[in-house]
Chains A and B, each alone.
Chain A
Amino acid sequence: MLGPSSSHTAGAVRIGQIARKLFGQEPDRLTIHFYGSFAKTYKGHATDVAIVGGLLNMEVADEALPNAIHIAQEQGINIHFIAEEEIPEEPNTVKIVMEKGPDRLEVTGVSVGGGAVQITEYAGFPIRLSGDFPTLLILHHDAYGAISQVSQLLEKHEINIAHMEVSRLAKGEVALMLIETDEMISPTILQDISRSKHVIRASMLALDEI
């Protein structure tokens, strides 16, 4: 990895990479909120640079990483950093708001040391996502049968579920299914899931170990 801090630099790159994968496209506007130790020391640790590098799909040992903000600005990406005073649960917390035209996604991540990270919030849903397993994130209408449809598709393709969480913000509205699997999920399976009834949006995360 590139220095100076595994939690503030390498971990930040990983959070940026995951956020970008979850958004599925290059944002044209970024608002990055830092909390806790991130808020106090992000400049010195180049956490701002690292997050943006990750959002540009750079790797932790990429020699171009120190210029990430400059590169992003050249690509016309509008970037804002905000150091928040609020005390977070985890000392190294960042909330990334990605926008492209009307499309908007909020992702919150925490860095826990040695470059290891967790995603703690996705589109307003509290989650726990490490990125160590292939993970499916499915936004769907809160209706009966939605879960069984997805699990049947996974069964058909012989995919074992390692961990699964379902949550909703309010009854009958949008819900989130988070599924960690032992096997990789091919783009075809992901497409099948995206097309099934009740599903609004399905994204897949399979980070290589860094």
Chain B
Amino acid sequence: MFKNIAELIEQAKKQDKKIWEIMLDQEVVTSGLSPEAIWETMAVRYEVMEKAIERGISGVHSRSGLTGGDAKRLYDYIKNGKFLTDKTSLLASCYAVATNEVNAAMGVICATPTAGSSGTVPGVLFALKDTHDLSSDRIIEALFTAGALGYVVANNAIISGARGGCQAEVGSAAAMAAGAAVELMGGTPDQIGHAFSIALKNLLGLACDPVGGLVEVPCVKRNAGGAAIALSAAEMALAGIESRIPADEVILAMYKIGITMPVTIRETALGGLATTPTGLDWQERIALEEF
């Protein structure tokens, strides 16, 4: 059993196992289910993510009209072949947006770790699947890796925007995705820890300030940003770059920032983007439509 990232890495090294295997072992112990049954549960999550991405890139709109259609826009842009960065990074952002647009439209998604941050992890993993020709089994393994990292954050800190701001949601998701991407690409347990730390450090302090209190603006595009940061952190870790601050200390820093954040930027729609003139205009329009 692991309680923090240091123990998780230590156990993987000691037992010469991948992080995903340590997570699966722990689930067997805590749930009393067989490894096959647990794998099957994760395979169902995988299918939910795949379906959400497919639905998102075909174009979906929320009831409020605040978000929708951007995943399709980005997908068409990628297909056009002319872009600034690379296909993995763009697809990751595209799939992240797709998932969160489906979420905003009250569609079925998998919380990773939350619904508001449900795009980042599948965005990164399914993009890598496409560009590196990986099997679905490899992605399911990576979901266990992401799960192990998210488990530590949820148990040692916070993952809800109302308790700790967006850093607790998209920040945690990006850290999970970065670590999972490193394992998927053959990185070491230590490199997974560094990728996790680098990604989370880049999102510390991020406010949760949704317009009209809806999980749409800025949430949908924040997931695209989270995916891009996750990939950047994963690349740095794979290049041998280390985080000066260890993962568990970054998690604690996130927690402390979260609990001291003003309530206006913790999912109350009382500050930040929610109270900009345009944000307030939208809030009024949404209220008139009577949800």
Contact = CB atoms under 8 A, between A and B. Distances in A.
Interface of A: 1-10, 36-37, 40-41, 43-46, 61, 63, 65-66, 90-92, 111-116, 209
B106 interface: yes
B162 A37 contact: yes
Contact of B215 (A1, A5, A40, A63): A5
A3 B105 contact: yes
A91 B165 CA distance: 12
Interface stretch (B83-91, B112-120, B131-139, B187-195): B112-120
B3 to A, nearest CB: 17
29 contacts: A1-B115, A2-B106, A3-B105, A3-B215, A5-B215, A6-B111, A6-B118, A6-B160, A7-B114, A7-B162, A40-B213, A41-B210, A41-B213, A43-B213, A44-B64, A44-B212, A44-B213, A44-B286, A45-B215, A61-B48, A91-B162, A91-B263, A91-B267, A91-B268, A92-B162, A113-B158, A113-B169, A114-B113, A114-B150
Given A40-B213, A44-B213, A112-B163, A3 B154 contact: no
A113 B214 contact: no
Contacts of B48: 61
Q: Of B104, B150, B162, which is in contact with the most chain A CB atoms at under 10 Å from its CB?
A: B162
B17 to A, nearest CB: 24
A92 B208 CA distance: 14
A2 B286 CA distance: 21
Contacts of B268: 36-37, 40-41, 91
B282 to A, nearest CB: 11
B291 A46 contact: yes
Contacts, number: 123
Interface in B254-286: 263, 266-270, 286
B110 interface: yes
A54 to B, nearest CB: 15
Given A1-B109, A91-B263, A114 B270 contact: no
Q: Of A4, A40, A209, which is in contact with the most chain B CB atoms at under 10 Å from its CB?
A: A4
B108 A113 contact: no
B269 A4 contact: no
A44 B110 contact: no
Nearest to A1: B111
Contacts of A209: 31
B83 to A, nearest CB: 29
Q: Of A40, A41, A61, A111, which is in contact with the most chain B CB atoms at under 10 Å from its CB?
A: A41
B184 interface: no
Nearest to A62: B108
Interface of B: 31, 48, 64, 102-111, 113-116, 118, 150, 154, 158-163, 168-169, 210, 212-216, 263, 266-270, 286-287, 291
A58 B89 CA distance: 38
B107 A3 contact: yes
A4 B267 contact: no
A61 B158 CA distance: 24
Task: List 5 A-B pairs, minimum CB-CB distance, nearest first.
Answer: A113-B160, A41-B213, A3-B103, A91-B162, A4-B215
A5 B105 CA distance: 11
Contact of A113 (B118, B159, B212, B213): B159
Contacts of A1: 108-111, 115
Given A37-B266, A113-B154, 15 more contacts: A1-B110, A2-B106, A3-B102, A3-B108, A3-B215, A4-B106, A7-B162, A37-B267, A41-B267, A44-B210, A44-B214, A45-B213, A63-B108, A114-B150, A114-B154
Contact of B104 (A3, A36, A41, A66): A3
A63 B48 CA distance: 13
Nearest to A65: B106
Contact of B115 (A10, A40, A41): A10
Nearest to B212: A44
A113 B263 contact: no
Given A44-B291, A61-B108, A114-B154, A6 B116 contact: yes
A10 B118 CA distance: 13
A138 to B, nearest CB: 26
Given A41-B267, A112-B163, A4 B213 contact: no
